[in-house]
Every structure is written in structure tokens, then in C-alpha cells.
Amino acid sequence: MNISDEQVSKIFELASMESKLLKDEITSVDISEALIEIERKIYSFSSGIKIDSLEDKKILIADDLELSIYQLSTVLKKIGIVPSVARHKDEAISELQKVHFDCVIIDLFMPDSADGFDLIKMAVKRRSETGSYSKIVVISGTDDTSLIDHCYELGVDFYIQKDKNWHSKLLKYLSTSFQSDKNIAFTRYIINNNIVSYIIKKFNDAKVFDLIIKNINSSMYTGVKNILFDLKEIIDFDMENAYIFADIYKICADNGGKFVLVNPSSKIKEALSFAYLEDIIPYVNSVEDGVSLIMEPTIHQ
């Protein structure tokens, strides 16, 4: 893709690779490495959404910056959505007139806010005309409250300011908007660079176990070593499935990290005992206690 010097600087900033800018010549290999690093970071925000249920969702990205389009497309592809793209206002309006989109993601400045507001008005008008509700999300770097308030006044469903957590905010919004509770296996929250907490919704299905293991392996790939499992919503549990705890414990231990259970039911505690894991995997009553336990030099039960 064609990118300006300003966008190159932004790429290295997002990838935390600003030292590359000190080189006499920036090569395509340098840029590729930075983009891979950005994608690695974006991947860490992926949540426990059932991917196959999102493949039919139609999403339009309206943005005039290639770097933003790249990031948004990468985030959406991680949850099974291949978006349509419009790179200027007129192209976006044309797409809206031809296709019903489940969600329209709009950059407010295309290249200025007047274009963004025109596009928002068109998106709101189209969903009124068709009778099919399209979610309208605005993503922008501005923190101007008057502009943000005007977005909501026009009918925007959600405004996301482009900070370091915007990927997570977008995925969380889409997951809650497009998914019913019965389809969510788990929700993943980043506590800090070394700890991720999973709120488990479903935990008696081999496909769910596989999804969780894959996501935890991805966490390890991004540098996270410690896993918290919040099991407050899991009451019943088959003791024969206790192997999943051993598998996760091993993944964490192999990466020099810790695995802590939060709010396990009596059935889960029984399963730990059944698998001789009660003295190996600690459990606590709150996420805060789990974080404190992980931060200790050694774990004491």
C-alpha cells in the first residue's frame, strides 16, 4: 500500500519500534516487520466470540487513511468478518445505497468533520428508509466533546476515541451487539501486559475447550504469561473434563507464568481434587485477589 512519511512514523509508533526511524533508509522489510508487530498486538484483543456466527455480518469501513483501513480490517478479520471498504464520502454513500450493512464504521474526518457528518446523516437516513437497523460506529482521534456529542445527536450508536485500547473497545461493542449470551463462550479482558482474565460463559463442550486453548496460546504468543479464569457463571462441571485445567496450567508454567481460578464452584473444586490438581492450581474469590496472588514471588495455597 502507498503510505506517506507521516503514516510511516505512525506505523512505527503503533508498533513501539520508533528506533527504526533513526535509520538512514526505511525499507519495505522494516515496514513489514512493523505491520506484523501491530497485527500481533491487535490479535491480543481477540475475544471468545463464536466466529462462525459472524461470517454473515456485513460491515462497511469508511475511512480515507490506508493505515486505519489496514488496522480495522485486521481487527474484524480476527472475528471472522471480511469488511467492505470505502475510501471517501461519495464511495461510502454509493455503497450504503446498494447494500444493507449490519454495521457502518465511519472515520469522522474524511478529510474533515463536515464529510464525516454528511456520511453519518446518510447512514441514519438509509436505515430509516430500509427499516433494517444498521449500527453506526464512529472512530476518531478527536476528544472534542462538541463533535462527539453531535455524533450522538445525529444517531450514532457508539463513538470510539482512538487510544491504545480502541481495538478492545470495538471488539467488545461488536461482540455484545451481534451475539446473544448463549453464543459467547468467554470474554477476555487484558489486566496488564502480563495478566489476562477470562470470564467463562460455557465450559462443558470440547469445541469451547479448543477455542479457549487456542486463545490462551495466542495470549502467550503476545507475551502474556499469567491467566485468571473467572468461573462464577459455571455451576455444573463434569469431573472428566478436569484435564482442561491441567492443559492450561502446563501452558502457563511452560511460559514461566501462573494459572489461577476465580470463584470455582464446589463441582469444579471436586474436579480439581479428582485430577490431583487441588495442591497445584490455586483458587481465590475475586479477580483482585487473583492478581495479588500472581504478583507474589511464589504461590501459596
Q: Which pLDDT value is given to residue 221?
A: 77
DSSP state of 259: E
Could you give the count of Cα atoms lying within 13 Å of 118 in the half-sphere of its Cβ? Answer: 14
Percent with pLDDT over 90 in the chain: 33
Top-confidence range, 35-39, 55-59, 86-90: 86-90
pLDDT value of position 116: 92
Q: Which range has the worst mean pLDDT, 48-57, 120-129, 259-268?
A: 48-57
What pLDDT is recorded for position 55?
Answer: 56
Residue pLDDT, tens place only, 256-278 = 999 999 999 999 999 999 889 98
pLDDT band at 299 (very low <50, low <70, confident <90, very high): very low
Q: What was the pLDDT predicted at 53?
A: 46
Alpha-carbon distance of 226 to 196, in angstroms, equals 7
pLDDT band at 149 (very low <50, low <70, confident <90, very high): very high
Q: What is the pLDDT of residue 273?
A: 92
Q: Would the pLDDT of 251 be above 70?
A: yes
pLDDT the model gives residue 296 = 78
User: If pLDDT is split at 50, 70 and 90, which confidence band does 2 have?
Assistant: low
CB 164 within 8 A of CB 197: no
Q: What is the pLDDT of residues 219-247, one digit of tens each?
A: 787 788 999 999 988 888 888 889 999 99
Split at pLDDT 50, 70, 90, the class of 40 is low
Q: What is the pLDDT of residue 184?
A: 65
CB 157 within 8 A of CB 135: yes
- The answer to whether residues 257 and 235 touch, using CB atoms and an 8 Å cutoff, is no
pLDDT bracket for residue 199 (50, 70, 90): confident
Cell of 91: 464511495
Q: Residue 254 to residues 209, 214, 229: CA-CA distances in angstroms?
A: 19, 15, 18
For the chain, how many helices (H) and strands (E)? Answer: 11, 11
Whole-number pLDDT of residue 159: 95
Give the chain's mean pLDDT. 82
Domains (ranges, CATH) in the chain?
1-44 (no CATH), 51-178 (3.40.50.2300), 181-295 (3.30.750.24)
pLDDT digits (tens, 9 = 90+) for 158-184: 999 988 778 878 877 877 776 544 456
pLDDT the model gives residue 68:
85
Q: Tell me what the mean pLDDT of segment 139-151 comes to.
A: 91
